[in-house]
């Protein structure tokens, strides 16, 4: 019969030891919202599932200017964090409209990133925040910038025996606004046709762009940064016109596919619109942050 062994180590170190022992025959499971679906669809058939569920050392949110998020933190915990809502609203935007409350109570940010779906809602926010991903194995630790983490649909830089423990986010510059927009058919319980995260840091005039970061989901085989659009905005006054142009450039950088969820031409169209709209939200938020 098609079955698997379910192991529940009590610590990250024990989990790493098990990963070493079973190698490619093992699959890590956290919330299970992706893994169990893949198992049922027979996309994966591991002999062993190593559970990271409820490991306290992976589940935390540490705020101190910058932000550290344990990989096992649930979407719901992120959604309910007042610090994230106030200081990293781009993450709040993404996790508060991801799946249902039930899914958010179970699914984790580490799982969402390691599953490496082009549509992962938490990927564009972590991309614009220049997040560092800490990776552990029995051999030690290494850190990878998130923009280097994804290698293709369902593929990452993770090697056999490695797991993600932490997302480390540097403190944003002053006068920064950030937001994530998700284009869906329905208002809830939907995957993005396109997801766009924008982060804009301003000079003291609150107009001139000091730094721009734009990340796109479902726009390419992996979540991506729109580097040309970012370069275009840097140093320029930000307004509807420049954002419209940035949207056009980002749309040209993207290489989306046509699937039943959306046509390539439509996705490009939406990127154009969402970069502008999300940029405008960033401006509002930056002004709000400067006032407070």
Partner 1 sequence: MKCNVINTPVHNVDGIAKVTGRATYTFDVTVPGMLFGKILRSPHPHARIKNIDASAALALNGVRAVVTGKDTLGIKQGIWRRYKELCDEQILPLEKVRYIGEPVAAVAADTEEIAEQALDLIEVDYEVLPAVYDPMEAIKKEAPEIHEGFERNINVTRHIEWGDVDDAFDEADYIREDWFRCSGQAHACMETRCAVASYTADGKLAVWTSTQSAYYHQVLLADVLGLKESDVRVIAKYVGGGFGGKFELDAAQFCSSVLSMKLCKPVKIVFTREEDFIASKRRTPMYYYVRTGVKKDGTFLAREARVFTDGGAYTGMGATALYLTGFFHSFPYKWRGYRHDGFRVYTNTLPSTSMRGFGTPHATYCSELQIDLIAKELGLDRIEIRRKNGHTPNYEVPGQATIASCGLEQCLDEIEKWIKSRGELPPNRGIGISSYGFMSGGIFNRFDTPYSFSSAVVTINYDGKVDLHVGAQDIGQGSNTTLAIICAEDLGVRLEDIRVHSGDTAECPPDLGAWGSRQTLMAGNAVKMAAGEAKRQLLEFAAAQMSPNIVYDLDIKDRWVHLAGRPERGLDYFEVVKKALRGKDGQRIMGRGYYTPHRKGMISPAYSYGVQALEIDVDPETGKIKLLNCVTAHDCGQPINPLGLTGQLEGAISMAAGYGFLEDIPIEDGMVMNPNLVDYKLIRAPDMPETEVIEIETYEPEGPFGAKEAGEGLTNPTAAALATAVLDAVGVPIKELPITPEKVLNALKEKKAQ
Q: Would you say 130 or 269 has its CB closer to partner 1? A: 269
Q: Would you say 3 or 292 has its CB closer to partner 1? A: 3
Q: Would you say 69 or 95 has its CB closer to partner 1? A: 95
CA distance 121 to 127: 11
Residues in contact with partner 1, shown as a per-residue x/- string from 266 to 285 under the rule CB under 8 A? x--xx--x------------
CA distance 198 to 176: 10
Q: How far is the CB of 3 from partner 1 (least distance, A)?
A: 8
101 binds partner 1 (CB under 8 A): no
Q: Considering only residues 166-195, where is the footprint of partner 1 by CB under 8 A?
A: 183, 185-191
Distances in Å between the Cα of 76 and the Cα atoms of 158, 177, 241 are: 25, 23, 36
Residues in contact with partner 1, shown as a per-residue x/- string from 240 to 269 under the rule CB under 8 A? --------------------xxxx--x--x
**How many Cβ atoms sit within 10 Å of the Cβ of residue 204?**
10
Q: Strand order in 163-169's β-sheet? A: 61-64, 66-70, 163-169, 132-137, 140-145
Helices 240-253 and 264-291: angle between axes, nearest 10 degrees: 140
Q: How far is the CB of 172 from partner 1 (least distance, A)?
A: 29
Assigned token pair, 255: 């290489």
Residues lying near partner 1 in the complex (CB under 8 A) are found at: 1-3, 183, 185-191, 260-263, 266, 269-270, 273
């Amino acid at each position: 019969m098609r079955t698997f062994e379910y192991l529940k180590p009590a610590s990250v170190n024990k989990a790493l030891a098990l990963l070493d022992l079973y190698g490619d025959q093992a699959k890590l499971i956290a919330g299970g919202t992706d893994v169990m679906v893949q198992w049922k669809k027979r996309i994966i058939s591991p002999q062993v599932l190593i559970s990271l569920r409820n490991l306290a050392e992976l589940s935390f949110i540490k705020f101190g200017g910058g932000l550290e998020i344990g990989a096992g933190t649930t979407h719901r915990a992120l959604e309910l964090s007042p610090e994230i809502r106030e200081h990293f609203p781009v993450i709040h935007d993404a996790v508060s409209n991801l799946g249902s409350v039930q899914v958010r109570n179970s699914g984790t940010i580490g799982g969402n990133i390691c599953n490496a779906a082009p549509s992962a809602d938490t990927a564009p926010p972590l991309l614009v925040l220049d997040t560092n991903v800490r990776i552990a194995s029995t051999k030690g630790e290494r850190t990878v910038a998130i923009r280097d983490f994804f290698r293709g649909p369902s593929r990452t830089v993770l090697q056999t025996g490695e797991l993600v423990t932490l997302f480390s986010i540097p403190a944003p510059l002053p006068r920064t606004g950030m937001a994530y927009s998700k284009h869906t058919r329905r208002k809830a319980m939907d995957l993005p046709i396109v997801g766009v995260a924008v982060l804009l840091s301003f000079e003291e005039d609150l107009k001139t762009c000091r730094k721009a970061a734009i990340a796109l989901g479902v726009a390419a085989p992996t979540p991506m940064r729109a580097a040309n659009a970012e370069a275009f905005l840097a140093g320029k006054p930000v307004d509807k016109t420049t954002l419209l142009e940035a949207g056009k450039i980002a749309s040209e950088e993207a290489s989306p596919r046509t699937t039943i969820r959306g046509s390539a031409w439509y996705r490009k169209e939406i990127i154009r619109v969402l970069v502008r709209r999300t940029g405008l939200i960033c401006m509002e938020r930056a002004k709000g942050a400067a006032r407070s």
